[in-house]
Amino acid sequence: MDRTEYEFLVQRLTSEKDIESLHKKAGYSKDMLYNILAKKIVRNTLKKFYPIQHNLEFYYRRWIKGETIVKIAEELQFSPILLASFLLIKKKGFNRKSFNESLRNPALIKDLRVRKEIEECIKEDFVYAPWAYDIQKKNGEEGERRGAEWLDKRGIHYMTEKDNKEMNHHHKTPDFLFEHPQDINGFKANWIESKSMFGDDREVQRQFKKQIGPYLQYFGPGIVVYWYGFIDDITLGDKIKIVDETFFKD
């Protein structure tokens, strides 16, 4: 994706409604739009995390007077679930374990108002809600499945991350590690790493520091696939090829 187009989408995306609108009007993938918006929300949340904690007494008083957590969070452009965790853990006797259990099963909450508001937070928060985590996990598994299917059809042998861990080869392993260098659409690669996300500058650099750099050091050249796209002009040098799903289409 062109950088200018990406920057436009980042500015345009503010809520789930924008995802539907951009999908219908311009044909953008919902998964890609969701991923870009989710990253924007996470980064904004990190900026506001400590200021909101610092002023928690103010937000608690508003809540006690009748405003809902979702309404306050919307005004702050902050995660409803994180705001709920601040309020309930600091002010209502919850601990981290009981709060997380309540997210998975709100029926455990005896206070009817708190239960209702937690249910609303879960419904509205598409980044930090349990169902959102489940979707992210499912998308990750689907990306790995697609990669494995593509390699299997071409008879390319590989070891998965699970295989390598069982054999105690390395503590950092890519999703697909080849027995021998493979010519993958004109690029000689020793491995492929699957990422069910959009690759912008910060994400690509974060992943390079966390995983891709060590893979390059341990195993040599490889491919990183961002299934939901990436900014075209991002590069990690000539030994790492960044691709999207179109790279694997026949």
Q: Are residues 122 and 10 in the same domain?
A: yes
Q: Are residues 223 and 154 in the same domain?
A: yes
Output the six-digit token pair for 81.
């679930």
Say how far apart CA 66 and CA 200 lie, in whole Å.
40
Q: Are residues 177 and 233 in the same domain?
A: yes
Say how far apart CA 98 and CA 111 lie, in whole Å.
14
Q: Which domain holds residue 231?
A: 138-248
Q: Are residues 88 and 148 in the same domain?
A: no
Say how far apart CA 227 and CA 236 lie, in whole Å.
17
One-letter amino acid of 243? V
Question: pLDDT truncated to tens, each residue of the chain (250 aa)?
Answer: 999 999 999 999 988 899 999 999 999 999 999 999 999 999 999 999 999 999 999 999 999 999 999 999 999 989 999 999 999 999 888 999 999 999 999 999 999 999 999 999 999 998 999 999 999 999 999 999 999 999 999 999 999 878 877 776 666 789 999 989 999 999 999 999 999 999 999 999 999 999 999 999 999 999 999 999 999 999 999 999 999 999 987 6
Cα dihedral across residues 222, 203, 35, 79: positive or negative: positive
Q: List C-alpha distances in Å: 127 to 15, 124, 214.
A: 11, 9, 29
Q: Are residues 115 and 206 in the same domain?
A: no
Q: Are residues 54 and 8 in the same domain?
A: yes
Strand partners, 194: 225
List CB contacts of 132: < 8 A, sequence separation 6 or more: 38, 125, 126
Cα dihedral across residues 154, 156, 157, 162: positive or negative: negative
Last residue of a domain, one of 130, 163, 192: 130
Last residue of a domain, one of 79, 96, 130: 130
Domain count, the chain: 2
pLDDT digits (tens, 9 = 90+) for 98-113: 999 999 999 999 999 9
Q: Are residues 115 and 159 in the same domain?
A: no
Say how far apart CA 80 and CA 11 lie, in whole Å.
21
Last residue of a domain, one of 70, 98, 130: 130
Q: List C-alpha distances in Å: 38 to 30, 44, 106.
A: 12, 10, 24
pLDDT digits (tens, 9 = 90+) for 166-218: 776 666 789 999 989 999 999 999 999 999 999 999 999 999 999 999 999 99
Q: Are residues 74 and 35 in the same domain?
A: yes
Output the six-digit token pair for 16.
């789930």
Q: What is the pTM of this model?
A: 0.87
Helix (H), strand (E) at residue 34: helix 30-54
Q: How far is CA 43 from the centre of its chain?
A: 11
